[in-house]
Amino acid sequence: MNFTRWSARLPRTQRRIAARADRGARRPKPAAAAGGGSVPAARGESADPSGRGEPPAAAPCDAAPPAAVPTLDGLSAHDLLGQVPALVAVVYGPEHRIAYLNDTYVGLFGSRTPGTPAGQALPELRELGLLPLMDQVLRSGKPRTVKSRQVPAGGPATTPGPRQEGAAPGPGRSRHGYYTFTCSPIEMAAPKAVAPARPADGQAGEGAVDGTPVDGNPVDGSPVDGSIRDGAIRKAVAVPETVATETVATDPGPATGTDQATEPVRGVLVFGADVTDQVESAERLRASERLQREAAVTLQRSLLPQGLEQPDDLRVAATYQPGGTDAAVGGDWYDVITLGAGRTALVIGDVMGRGVRAAAVMGQLRTAVRAYARLDLPPHEVLQLLDGLAAEIDPHQIATCVYAVHDPNENRLVYASAGHLPILVRDPDGTVRRASEPTGPPLGTGGWLHTTGSVPLGPGASAVLYTDGLVERRDKDIYDGVAALERVFAGATGSPQVMCDRLIRALGITAEHDDDVAVLVLQHPARTGHDAELFHNAALELLGGVEAAPRARAFASGVLASWRFPMELRDLGVLAASELVANSLQHGTPPMRLRLRRTDRRLIIEVTDGDEHLPRRRRAEPVDEAGRGISIVATIASSWGSRRTPGGGKAVWCEFALPAG
């Protein structure tokens, strides 16, 4: 390893060398012969052509010549490494004996006795886990790096190993720090020796280098230190402990007389760069990101349903899992909305993007969906309205969404999709079907007329709505994930919540998953036994005419009596049926139908006809003979509403809550 060239690239070394050379340049120096030295004459100067030492003619410009550019040829590795603002330790041999510690290292950990094995004298290396790494470097000859190792305040707590006699421990740090350590292999060639005996004082003499020699005396007594101190320009050189050294000529020519060369000594250079500021900055950034993510998760969870509505005819469960700690929260959402008359809307969507912005857009879209749902619009009209709203909220933010409606009278799931993944429906026999068509582009793109599709969902069937985080993987096609979900869903049994949990586990979703996941599972239970007795339907076809209202009242009275309702509820039900039929006779067109439906929690009365004009509640004047029917229904019923039906026509309905017990 070329110590000088390598260390010259270390942080701030060039600036330190330049500053030192600049200070030296200000001192008076004897005149040099033309062409001498490694620094060329400044512009405007010339060498003395006569060779008599006369100063050159003054430059026509008054400006001072530029500062001399220093060279590294005369600097030792010891000088360079001593100025490096990083921890530097050089060890040699299989026991990693100490050869050199720079001032920064000594200032942090204290000085050590040279020649002592690092396992004894440098406990900090053991605590930092560097000794095994140094063994690997010595064996393989390849550098190894460990990043951001923490060094406690004052250095590692372990009692230091042997120190130099009279040496004080280093002051350490006032706070803990982080260092990135690189262990690099080095080969230190031994100098030529002329005597086989060690000096009496036990100190190593001066070393030599394979290159330009520089003066230097060892200060720590290490057999290798003298060589490092002498400056290895191409490679560091060292003297093994078994060979005594004396100063000899450094002529790289062949050895003569009693000169004898020793084998090269292999060692490891440990370089520790202080990355405390970078680590603390990264930690502050991570803390800020965590706070932002927690705020986004809190916002998103506050915008999701705090408790799912449970329809009379469906069992519903949902699961939401935000992405792992390294992932910003997304804009996934879901919702369950009771529309009245036993109908239920189920929604799931995903706003593209991440963070608080995506969560805020998601909240606005979810609120808008609930508002549009109160209008009881068909699914494709809801998505058409959402498409325009999404473009107004943020033209650069798009979202996918599925809006589906379940009607227990039809035993079907009617839906519209804006670029979302297909709904999966499982029949009672385990067959799974994709409700993939029709589908349109994501919300916010504009220029598209969404359409509605339908899929059977009878008693005993289940369906799952989900976001792409459940099935999308970086190394697979997303529809491979949908196929995997189909296989798992085909064998899933139990309650909707159990099925949600099973789907999450089977598809490998963990707390470290890199994307948000939302899953909504619904079941249309096949009711038997006592439950079946609580659910009844009755319908009457009406052709119009004066006899329609009396027929409707008689039919409602008989059905409600057979369902054993209390007399008060029976009378209110008959009155509501009479008013709805009368409204249809006056403002609607045939065919008309009166439908009564009982669930375990409510009585539903609905009248359909062939006219598309929806009724509006209005305040009737005292002299008006009509216009009070809808107001009467709204007063006596728990809720009421109207909607347009497919193929033309409308439905007007009201509900009565059943008494407990």
* pLDDT one-digit tens code per residue, 68-78: 545 555 566 67
| Confidence band for 436, pLDDT divided at 50, 70 and 90 | confident
Percent of the chain at pLDDT exceeding 90: 43
Coil/strand/helix, residue 86: coil
| Confidence band for 359, pLDDT divided at 50, 70 and 90 | confident
Q: Token pair of 542, please? A: 């009406």
Is CATH 3.30.2230.10 correct for 530-657? no
Cα dihedral across residues 114, 118, 121, 122: positive or negative: positive
- Mean pLDDT for the stretch of residues 181-186: 93
Q: What is the pLDDT of residue 207?
A: 35
Select the more confidently predicted residue: 576 or 187.
Answer: 576
Q: State how far the Cα of 462 lies from the Cα of 428, in Å rounded to an integer.
A: 8
* Residues 612 and 649 sit within 8 Å (Cβ to Cβ): yes
Q: What is the pLDDT of residue 329?
A: 67
- Mean pLDDT for the stretch of residues 335-354: 92
Phi-psi region of 224 (alpha: psi -120 to 50; beta: other; left: phi over 0): alpha
Q: What is the pLDDT of residue 242?
A: 33
323, pLDDT greater than 80: no
Percent of the chain at pLDDT exceeding 70: 72
Phi-psi region of 12 (alpha: psi -120 to 50; beta: other; left: phi over 0): left
Lowest mean pLDDT among 1-15, 184-198, 311-325: 1-15
Neighbours of 122 (CB within 10 A): 27
218, pLDDT greater than 50: no
203, pLDDT greater than 50: no
Domain 304-524: CATH architecture, name and number where available: 4-Layer Sandwich (3.60)
CATH of span 77-274 = 3.30.450.20
pTM score: 0.62
424, pLDDT greater than 80: yes
- Supply the DSSP string of 145-193, one letter for each residue: EEEEEEE-TTS-SSPP----TTPPPP---SS-EEEEEEEEEEEEPPPPB
Lowest mean pLDDT among 38-42, 49-53, 416-420, 498-502: 38-42
- Mean pLDDT for the stretch of residues 246-252: 34
Q: What is the pLDDT of residue 432?
A: 95
Coil/strand/helix, residue 224: coil
- Mean pLDDT for the stretch of residues 633-644: 94
Select the more confidently predicted residue: 136 or 51.
Answer: 136
Q: What is the edge-to-edge ordering of all strands in the sheet holding 602-609?
A: 536-542, 592-598, 602-609, 650-657, 639-644
Q: State how far the Cα of 397 lies from the Cα of 375, in Å rounded to an integer.
A: 26
403, pLDDT greater than 80: yes
The counts of H helices and E strands in the chain are 17, 20
Q: What is the pLDDT of residue 269?
A: 93
| Confidence band for 190, pLDDT divided at 50, 70 and 90 | low
The CA-atom distances, in angstroms, between 585 and each of 90, 439, 479, 549 are 102, 39, 52, 8
* Residues 110 and 122 sit within 8 Å (Cβ to Cβ): no
- Mean pLDDT for the stretch of residues 577-584: 94
Q: What is the pLDDT of residue 23?
A: 54
263, pLDDT greater than 50: yes
The radius of gyration computed from the CA coordinates of the chain, to the nearest angstrom, equals 44
The letter for the amino acid at 284 is R
The CA-atom distances, in angstroms, between 432 and each of 229, 406, 631 are 79, 18, 46
Q: State how far the Cα of 351 lies from the Cα of 399, in Å rounded to an integer.
A: 4
Return mean pLDDT, the chain. Answer: 77
Q: What is the pLDDT of residue 223?
A: 44
201, pLDDT greater than 50: no
Q: State how far the Cα of 378 lies from the Cα of 536, in Å rounded to an integer.
A: 26
Q: What is the pLDDT of residue 360?
A: 84
Pairing of the two strands 423-426 and 432-435: antiparallel
Neighbours of 119 (CB within 10 A): 15
- Mean pLDDT for the stretch of residues 251-261: 44
Q: What is the pLDDT of residue 19?
A: 56
637, pLDDT greater than 50: yes
229, pLDDT greater than 80: no
Domain ranges, ordered by start, for the chain: 77-274, 304-524, 530-657
Q: What is the pLDDT of residue 251?
A: 38
Q: State how far the Cα of 234 lies from the Cα of 211, in Å rounded to an integer.
A: 6
The CA-atom distances, in angstroms, between 603 and each of 45, 376, 525, 561, 609 are 109, 19, 19, 13, 20
307, pLDDT greater than 50: yes
